Every structure is written in structure tokens, then in C-alpha cells.
Amino acid sequence: MLIVLTGKTASGKDTILAKLSQKYPDLHNIVTTTSRKIREGEHDDLDYHFISREEFKKRVDRGDFVEFVEYGNNLYGTEKKELEATLNHNAIWKIDPSMAGKVREVIKDKKVLVIYITTSEEVILQRLQERNLTEDEIESRMADDEAFFQEFKDKYDYIIENVPGKLDETVDKIVKILESRAS
């Protein structure tokens, strides 16, 4: 099975992914590539493959990516080699909501489960401000989130709210979904 984790910017996807990886150590994490700067606490080749924008574009031109998108003035994508390494494993893939809405067009030979994570606008605004983004960047990300959600909401199997202070409950909901799908 391929579990696709997606959702609003700053909704807690990375934290949820880390918790799921702890609970399911055999679950292969598909590490995506980005041109954005590494943040405090992140690790190259674990959280993302961090590369320059120029290198990202070279890899796009070579056809190395199965999908990519520009979001928040940065490039994000999944290299074919990352995806191919998971073909015989259960895997989790954190990707952009627009690509998550189209994932079944890309992945045809694997059972796919798409989980969309959301949280309140107030929490997202606070988290994005803490990342020192400009007001224009924040507005752009929040507008993109809404547009992607409206366009692809029927493609997501589950929509789960990540309520601040209730991370374990959020993860438990996902675990129950995974366990029900495994049986």
C-alpha cells in the first residue's frame, strides 16, 4: 500500500509523518526533493533532499522527476528513483495537495490511500508567521491551499483535522484508518 499524506501548509504533516514512522518502522518514507532552504531541526536526505533551484531545474530537464510543483516560491518534487525504491514495500509519501489529487493517475500498480491533513486558519497563520514568511507569501500559500482543496477534495480518501494539542489523537485516527485498510 502507498499512503499519501498531504494537506494544508503548516498543518503538521511532517510531525504526523514522524509519528507514523515511529509506529511503523517498516513503512518506507519516500523522501521528496526541494529547492527551499533547510529549516532548523531538519536533516538533508531525511526530511527532504535539499538542492539548489538550479540543480532542481537540471533534474527536471533530465526527466528525473515523476512529479514536481512550484509552491511558495520553491520547487518540490519526487524523483523517480525514490518512488521506484518503494515498489515492493508499504510506503508513505508526503506530497503537495495538487499532486495528491492526481496520484492515482501516476501510480497505477499499487493500492493508494490519500489522507488530507487540515487545521484551523488561525493556527496556520501563526505557524507561517513563525517561519518568518512575508505577508504576501502567507497569503499566497493560504490561497493556494484553498484552491487545491476545492479542486481535489473529492480525490482525498480521508480529511483529518489536526487539532493543536491533540497530535496523538490525530495520529490515532490515521492508525485506525490504516489498520482497517490492512484487514
Rounded average pLDDT over 121-136: 92
Domain parsing of the chain, residue ranges: 2-182
Find out whether 29 and 92 touch, Cβ atoms under 8 Å.
yes
Whether pLDDT at 58 is above 70: yes
Residues taking part in catalysis: 39, 131, 141
Please tell me the predicted confidence (pLDDT) of residue 115: 97
- Longest alpha-carbon distance in the chain: 46
Find out whether 162 and 170 touch, Cβ atoms under 8 Å.
yes
Whether pLDDT at 122 is above 90: yes
Percentage of residues in the chain with pLDDT exceeding 70? 99
CA nearest neighbour of 119 among 9, 15, 26, 18: 9
Q: Could you tell me the pLDDT band of residue 10, with boundaries at 50, 70 and 90?
A: very high
Whether pLDDT at 182 is above 90: no
Please tell me the predicted confidence (pLDDT) of residue 183: 66
* CATH class given for the domain over 2-182: alpha beta
C-alpha dist (Å) from residue 80 to 41, 69, 87, 105, 107: 26, 15, 11, 15, 12
The Cα–Cα gap between 43 and 53 comes to 18
Read off the pLDDT of residues 146-172 as tens digits, 9 standing for 90 and up. Answer: 999 999 999 999 999 999 999 999 999
| pLDDT greater at residue 108 or residue 29 | 29
Q: Could you tell me the pLDDT band of residue 174, with boundaries at 50, 70 and 90?
A: very high
